[in-house]
A and B are shown apart, each in its own frame.
Chain A
Amino acid sequence: MGATMQLAKHVKFREEKFGGVLFETRSEKVFTLNATAAAVVREIAAGHDQKEIAARLADRFSGPPAAIEREVAGLIGDLQQKGLVEDSARG
């Protein structure tokens, strides 16, 4: 916890009306994001760590903070597992 993350080198993010898209340009795979996932990716790109992201989203979205924390953790885990997000230190 506390470690900042960044989008992986070959990943590009673009906001869209429905949320956003992540384009992994090495494999040429496109991942569609809903509004919540796009908000998380936007915060990652801004250099926030997981705790900060959960806190910032809790301010913006209604819902129990614990549930938002779980959702953020799940999304970040999924992005990391797909190689779309990595620790900043690896950059």
Chain B
Amino acid sequence: MASSEDLTAPLYVAWQITNECNLACLHCIEESGPGKAFRDELDDKQVFDVIDQMMEHEVPYLSFSGGEPMLHARFFEMVERVCARGGQLKIETNGHYLSPENCERLHRLGVKAVQVSLDGASSGTFGRMRVRGEFDRTIAGVRNLRAAGVPIEVNFSPASFNVHEAGAIVDLAYELGAASFYSGRTMFTGNAVKAWRHLSLSDEQYDVFFGVLRRKAEEYRGRMRVHFHEAGLLEELRYRLQSPAALLIVLPNGLVKIINALPFVCGDFRRQSLPEIWGNFRRAWQDPRVAKFISDLADDPGKTRTLHQWVHL
């Protein structure tokens, strides 16, 4: 397996294209919400320049997320720019803008998949997590994706008040036509810090949750992929320290993080080219501050609350 050291460019770019969102989810790691767009988000020229650089350097796979990416004023033009140049693109959305017309357009443009967050199998549970969210509108949006022939993925974030519906949500995802279902542990950062007493699960609850997902993965084998990461954050970061994924996280203002779960910034698309940033990325993982932060997490897991206090390497 080639390490990121050997590669000429990233293999995957996860791009939060805006921090604006119509919802204010309890667990949002980006602290997105209405009126939460960064004041210095990339302008149109910068946005298309970044896309062109990624395509020129043959980044094979991108995702657009947010915030709510479909609220970006140039969203469809950005999608078109990537897809027309052969990039594989996934959209990560809350599903509230998936009208039949928009789904048809996404299909026509050739997106690889649309991932919709479904944090409840019922309106009440969904609404507790996804503040201002509308369950029925989200479900209708997913059905519109299916009708338009857009590949569907469903994402679920567990919390104390929705984990009992985990099995039902997997079933619902399959009934809605999802090709993949994703889940893992909800992170203690962003909005989740303030809402943690409503969100946190004990180790025993996680054991039960992952047991449900293991059974569902078996039940749907060959029909829908059920992916979930049981590893805790510390374990994941220790692994990444040895073997960084060839993945850049691009923030709405063009800053680039080495991984979402750390505060370290290795570049800025407003001032630097993709090759420069990629070079910085590879060096950044060797920076002793990264190893120290991860080491310190073992003693103080609450340090993840500081992920938005960016550290420029």
Binding site for B on A (CB under 8 A): 10, 12, 14, 16-18, 21, 23, 25-28, 30, 32
- Total number of residue pairs linking A and B with CB closer than 8 Å: 47
Cα-based distance from A10 to B1 in the complex (angstroms): 20
Q: Judging by beta carbons under 8 Å apart, are B6 and A17 in contact?
A: yes
Q: Judging by beta carbons under 8 Å apart, are B2 and A16 in contact?
A: yes
Residue from A10, A18, A21 whose CB has the most chain B CB atoms within 10 Å: A21
DSSP majority for the B interface? loop
Task: With A10-B112, A23-B60, A25-B112 as known contacts, state yes or no: A30 contacts B225, CB within 8 Å.
Answer: no
Task: With A21-B2, A25-B60, A30-B1 as known contacts, state yes or no: A10 contacts B88, CB within 8 Å.
Answer: yes
Q: Judging by beta carbons under 8 Å apart, are A30 and B11 in contact?
A: yes
Q: What's the least CB distance linking A8 to chain B, in Å? A: 12
Q: Judging by beta carbons under 8 Å apart, are B60 and A17 in contact?
A: no
Q: What's the least CB distance linking B95 to chain A, in Å? A: 20
Residue from B2, B58, B61 whose CB has the most chain A CB atoms within 10 Å: B2
B7 interface residue, CB < 8 Å from A? yes
Q: Judging by beta carbons under 8 Å apart, are A16 and B112 in contact?
A: no
Interface residues of B in 207-262 (CB under 8 A from A): 225, 246
B8 interface residue, CB < 8 Å from A? yes
Q: Which among A12, A18, A26, A27 is the interface contact of B60 at CB below 8 angstroms?
A: A12
Cα-based distance from A14 to B170 in the complex (angstroms): 35
Q: List 11 additional contacts besides A16-B2, A23-B88; criterion CB under 8 Å.
A: A12-B88, A14-B9, A14-B11, A14-B58, A14-B60, A23-B11, A25-B60, A25-B112, A26-B113, A30-B2, A32-B2
